[in-house]
Amino acid sequence: MNNLNEILYQKRITKSDLARALNVSRQRVNNWTQNKNYPQKKYIKLISKFLGVSIEKLFYNEDSVVNGKSLSDVK
């Protein structure tokens, strides 16, 4: 999850806080932030909701390009 570390930092939420909120281990969250593995779909939705960001924001930078278009222009 490319942007998870940055979002946690911006929102002043620790990995331990996120782990407690999701009822998972801190090590699991650490693995997600280091891109060692990715959370299951149900956790992706919960992370997005808990952090108040879109799922796309967790994975892509705002200036990412998809099929020649900026992510913010893709609908």
Q: How many CB atoms lie within 10 A of CB 29?
A: 25
The pLDDT score that the predictor gives to residue 60 is 81
The pLDDT score that the predictor gives to residue 74 is 52
Do the Cβ atoms of 37 and 71 come closer than 8 Å?
Answer: no
The pLDDT score that the predictor gives to residue 51 is 95
pLDDT of the chain, 75 residues: tens digit per residue: 779 999 999 999 999 999 999 999 999 999 999 989 999 999 999 999 999 999 989 888 765 555 555 555 554
The pLDDT score that the predictor gives to residue 26 is 97
Domains of the chain: 4-73 (1.10.260.40)
The pLDDT score that the predictor gives to residue 2 is 79
